[in-house]
Amino acid sequence: MVMEISASGVAQPTLPTLYEYYTTGGIKSGLNAGQSYFTLNERNISLYSGAMHYFRTPKQLWRDRLRKMRAAGLNAVETYVPWNLHEPTPGQFDFGSGGSDMQDFLDIETFLKTAQEEDLLAILRPGPYICAEWEFGGFPSWLLRGDPPVKFRTSDPHYMNPVKRFFNALLPILAALQFINGGPIVAFQVENEYGSTQSSTFKPDRKYLRQLRQLYLSNNITELLVTADGVSAHKAAGTLPEFFLVTANFGGNPRSSFDALETIQPGRPKMAMEYYPGWFDHWSELHHTTPDLLLTINLEEILTYPGSFNIYMFHGGTSFGFLNGANVADSLTDNSGFQPDTTSYDYSAPLTEAGNYTRKYALIKSLLAKYAYPKTQIPAPPEVIPRVVYPSIPIREYLPLKQLIDSQSSGLEYASPLPMELLDINNGSGQSFGYITYRKTQLNLPAGSTLKIAANIRDTLLVLVNGVQIAPPLKASADLDNFGFWRQSPSTIQLTNRFLRNATVDLVVENWGRVGYGMITQFYQHKGLWNNTVSINNHTIQNWKHIPLEFKKTWTQKLSGWRPMQTYKSPGLYRGFLSIDSPLADTYVDMRQWTKGILIINGFVLGRYARIGPQQCLYLPSPLLHVGRNEIIIFEHYEASDSIRFTSDQIWETI
């Protein structure tokens, strides 16, 4: 036994690390759930896990977040795997060096090895559907190009063939990192909340679940396979209890869910795969928070049942780029209940978006110090990474939206408006993210001419007549009921109050996030003007030029034609420069003086902002900055500010 000398000079036994405790003497077996408790390598274990998504935190900060999780007393980290990032176009994969804008976030092998170095086990949830308030629930948008349409989350070969291709690329990477092979992975979740798909028109496809299981087995996955559902409501509808350990998702009343698990699988371990310590935000809502005391009550009930848990989220992070998901309150038939998620995925979690400790963190640490077994070495909590408030910088240059559209020579012409996913671009995979412009030229518009869009817009719309934006701005949450947003159907706007000859009309549509949760029918969601008739003065307009504005890094960095700053009342790109000649530090960009749009730092889309809130600032981690001159571009839809301001903390305010 290893001994250490205490301050009093008395020799005391040193606690083993987690891996020392579970691997001393060699590894004979992985996580076992064949009885009422878990064992790992034939030793009893309870899982004290926390969710952290590697794709929501810069790679350079992974170790900081993981060490903080271990310092709280957790023994495992859980993460989803986003298919849409790892296979951005069919057959082209990015696991950290694939050349996509997000490649630095995608080195899953390094993430898992770092977790092991920080003395954490790992639970992997590869989907293929992940929800996660992530764009399209993790599905690649090119699945929507299927002819016939793919039947999502079923054994339909048009769906399963792409799933097999992705899993056959992903799972060999993960197989080598299984606990039995000396790595950190002790469990894999198959699908995700599949029971929630059950409705009067759809029954979960058991053949599909068996096919997914076989994919794991064929790729040498031998660790424990589990499913997760709201079992109090959906029981065993989304699982195969004969093959998978069933786990539960809930935000309260643990005993009810664990009792349901006992009914489904008597005498098996009880685990909360998702226990919610907070919640996520939609634009225009109030910021969600949850009582700290409630977390303590629920976790203690889980621990004493006894059961295991995964806190979802322990560190929420950020949905960088265009990668926020959305919910839908009703159905996608009319899109009126569309609810886009904010860029921040703070989740009111124990570790904030920027990695700060909260009272929830302290409470969890205290509970685990009391209940966790076995006792192993726990590191001291790392210092909080300091944030700075950089000096405000002026807007120096401006690129009008019309000029930006004019500069694009890649426009494609179709008789009727097509959604972005069906454009013949990106090697036949269509457009996933950003904006799409529908342009019609050489129009003679009498005074009082009216534009009519027959069905719901997906999701927001700017209307430019000869370059002048005429759609009403989004300055308050109530404005979402006006023209230019998804709630109206049909919607109309007057284009001009005087006669215009040879006019150009541009309809710029934003994808504000594809829905990532709901019934199967809600996964058929094209963005742009979809199944739509666009008319002027009741005359259907055809032969539109389609111009994608994807804001990919290489494209943005080549933009030219910048003008000296002249106006703040027009949509376009606004550019300023942040010079840093000292050590880099995290910060927040305060967007309260702007209206709605996206912010781009050194060519990388940091995220969306909207004055309506609740999120008012964008987290800017230091790995996205560099010493010297940093370019900041803001695509403002409506009215801009004359400067870019910074703050040290997030600000929550709903307008």
- How large is the average pLDDT for residues 37-65? 98
Position 518 scores a pLDDT of 79
Q: Do 255 and 316 form a contact (C-beta atoms < 8 A)? A: no
Residues labelled catalytic? 193, 274
Position 1 scores a pLDDT of 45
What is the Cα–Cα distance from 514 to 520, expressed in whole angstroms? 14
Residues in Cβ contact with 480 at an 8 Å cutoff, skipping those fewer than 6 apart: 284, 474, 486, 487, 612
Residue 173: phi, psi to the nearest 5? -65, -45
Place 13 in a pLDDT band, splitting at 50, 70 and 90. confident
Position 332 scores a pLDDT of 53
594 burial level (CB within 10 Å; 0-12, 13-18, 19+): buried
Dump strand ranges (E) for 158-307: 185-189, 224-229, 245-250, 271-275
Query: What residue type is assigned to position 645 of the chain?
Result: R
- How large is the average pLDDT for residues 506-519? 94
Q: Is the model's pLDDT at 597 over the cut of 70?
A: yes
What is the Cα–Cα distance from 474 to 484, expressed in whole angstroms? 9
Q: Dihedral sign, CA of 85, 327, 652, 62?
A: negative
* pLDDT, tens digit, 9 for 90 and up, residues 98-157: 999 999 999 999 999 999 999 999 999 999 999 999 999 999 999 999 889 999 999 999
Q: Do 340 and 326 form a contact (C-beta atoms < 8 A)? A: yes
Q: Is the model's pLDDT at 305 over the cut of 80?
A: yes
What is the Cα–Cα distance from 559 to 602, expressed in whole angstroms? 13
- How large is the average pLDDT for residues 462-485? 97
- How large is the average pLDDT for residues 492-500? 98
- How large is the average pLDDT for residues 317-321? 98
Q: Is the model's pLDDT at 583 over the cut of 70?
A: yes
- Percent of the chain surpassing pLDDT 90: 92
What's the chain's average pLDDT? 95
Q: Which two tokens stand for residue 211?
A: 């096919």
